[in-house]
Amino acid sequence: MPAWAYVNGKFVPFEEASLPVEDRATQFGDGVYEVARIYEGVPFAFSDHVQRMQKGASIIGIPWPWEEAELQTMVDELIARNNQQDGIVYWQVSRGTAPRSHVFPPQADPNLTAYTRDYPDHAAAWEQGVKVTIERDVRWLLCHVKSVNLLGNVLAKEAAASKGGAEALLEREGYGIVEGGSSNVFIVKDGVLATPPLSELILPGITRSYVLEIAAEQGMSAAERYISREELLQADEVFFTSTGVEVMPVAAADGHTIGSGVPGPVTKQLLAAYKERVAAACSTAPR
Ligand code: PDD
């Protein structure tokens, strides 16, 4: 357990950190959150995370009183207090605390909470690839907002886990496989990458955008388009991306072996390049 958490301007012992019962994230899922990976004590792509959060808050009308530098200072202090060299930092902004009513409260200050946590090692999974399942996407229509309404994701990931899957790939009627329960999805066919386009149906993943950038730098071609279940099952390689798992190879989906059932060359190349990018960013970050 980490030593410290942050609640509305104060660092408090982790076990004492809490939100009021009428916090709107608790009652309505009325809030946004971010998860950044900490490498060598540095939160990677912090600015990208803050920008996405601010945009999400604006889409759902949550006021935004913070400068990015204030959030950076808060997260840096939290990391230092917890001596969190490696792990994740989670932070959340809810619309605030107010007597329960669905309509926005006339007066409420957003609640900002944050903490760090250790993060498990994925070396074996990167080496061997993981199994995933395909689940129906029952989520709402503003999936581009990283809101704390995660019930659709939770149910899909639980369904996958109950069948031994490390991730649930979400299939939305009329669109095919859109993303993972907590990741973005890519396929590789004949050396060409494909990933669903940015829309209200998926989270604009920060890892996704870095992977697309890296692919372009390495001269790979990549299409942003929808992917059907059949295409995914017949792909040469499938992988999913997120802050936590970085670039995760898929060995099998819904019991079908993907490619030769081991991480393919494109996935391995992108994972290695992503790790290089992380190492470069963290070694040059101011401390
Ligand atoms: N999840 N899609 C969904 C639905 C996600 O929840 C996430 C991240 C991603 C990948 O985004 P990024 O590359 O920016 O991490 C895509 C975080 C890690 C989580 O909820 O724990």
* Residue 285: per-residue pLDDT: 73
CA of 182 to the centre of ligand 1 (A): 4
In terms of domains, do 101 and 149 share one?
Answer: no
Out of 55, 131, 146, 268, which one is annotated catalytic?
146
Structure confidence at residue 157 as a pLDDT band (50, 70, 90): very high
Task: Write down which residue in 117, 132, 164 finishes a domain.
Answer: 117
- Same domain assignment for residues 234 and 271: yes
| Atom in ligand 1 nearest the alpha carbon of residue 153 | 4
Residue 55 belongs to a domain with what CATH number?
3.30.470.10
Please determine, for residue 149, whether its predicted confidence score (pLDDT) is greater than 90. Answer: yes
105 and 128 belong to one structural domain? no
User: What average pLDDT score do residues 245-274 get?
Assistant: 98
Can you tell me the distance from the alpha carbon of 91 to that of 71, in angstroms, rounded to the nearest whole number? Answer: 10
Rounded average pLDDT over 132-152? 98
pLDDT in tens, 34-62: 999 999 999 999 999 999 999 999 999 99
Cβ-in-10-Å burial (0-12, 13-18, 19+) of 17 comes to middle
106 C-alpha to center of ligand 1: Å?
31
Q: Is 287 a member of any domain?
A: no
Do residue 256 and residue 150 come from a single domain? Answer: yes
| Overall average pLDDT of the 244-257 stretch | 98
Asked if 146 is an active-site residue, the reply is yes
Which runs of consecutive H residues, i.e. helices, occur in 135-192? 151-162
Final residue of a structural domain among 117, 136, 157: 117
The pLDDT, as a whole number, for residue 284 is: 80
User: What SS3 state is found at 7?
Assistant: strand
Mutate to test the pocket of ligand 1, among 92, 135, 184 (most ligand atoms within 8 A of CB): 184
Per DSSP, the residues of 14-43 read: GGG----TTBHHHHH--EEEEEEEEETTEE
Residues 94, 10: one domain? yes
Q: How confident is the model at residue 223 (pLDDT cuts 50, 70, 90)?
A: very high
* Residue 204 pLDDT exceeds 80: yes
> Do 17 and 156 have their domain in common?
no
- 159 C-alpha vs ligand 1 centroid, how far in Å? 18
The pLDDT assigned to 235 comes to 98
From 137, 139, 203, 245, mutation site for ligand 1 pocket: most ligand atoms within 8 A of C-beta: 203
51 to each of 36, 66, 68, 71, how far by Cα in Å? 12, 11, 8, 11
Ligand 1 closest atom vs CA 209:
13
- What six digits make up the tokens of 154? 């939770």
Same domain, 250 and 161: yes
Provide, rounded to the nearest whole percent, the portion of the chain with pLDDT above 90: 98
- Give the residue whose CA is nearest to atom 2 of ligand 1: 183
Would you tell me how many other CB atoms lie within 10 Å of the CB of residue 26?
16
Instruction: Give the chain's mean pLDDT.
Output: 97
pTM of the model: 0.97
Torsion on CA atoms 202, 204, 205, 208, rounded to nearest 10: 100
Identify which of 119, 169, 175, 179 has the alpha carbon closest to the alpha carbon of residue 144: 179
Cα distance between residue 92 and residue 101, in whole Å: 21
Tell me whether strands 87-94 and 111-117 are parallel, antiparallel or unpaired: antiparallel
Mark out the alpha helices in the chain (DSSP H runs).
Answer: 24-28, 46-59, 68-81, 123-128, 151-162, 206-217, 229-233, 265-284
End-to-end CA distance of the chain: 24
What is 218-258 written as a DSSP string? Answer: TT--EEE--B-HHHHHT-SEEEEEETTTEEEEEEEETTEEP
Domain that residue 43 falls in: 4-117
Same domain, 139 and 180: yes
pLDDT at 283: 81
pLDDT, tens only, 72-103:
999 999 999 999 999 999 999 999 999 999 99
CATH code where residue 252 lies: 3.20.10.10
Structural domain contains residue 13: yes
Together in a domain, 197 and 110 = no
Pocket of ligand 1 (CB under 6 A): 35, 153, 179, 182-184, 203, 205-208, 241-244
d(CA 229, CA 178): 10
Name the residue with the closest Cα to ligand 1, atom 8: 182
Query: What pLDDT is recorded for position 277?
Result: 97
Let me know if residue 286 belongs to a domain. Answer: no
Distance 275 CA to ligand 1 centre (A): 18
Q: Which atom of ligand 1 is nearest to the CA of 243?
A: 15
Q: Give yes or no: residues 108 and 169 share one domain.
A: no
Residue 286 has pLDDT above 70, yes or no: no
Whether 11 and 98 map to the same domain: the answer is yes
Q: Per the structure, how many domains does the chain have? A: 2
State percent of the chain over pLDDT 70.
99
Decide which of 61, 84, 117 is a domain's last residue.
117
Q: Are residues 131 and 230 in the same domain?
A: yes
Residue 177 has pLDDT above 90, yes or no: yes
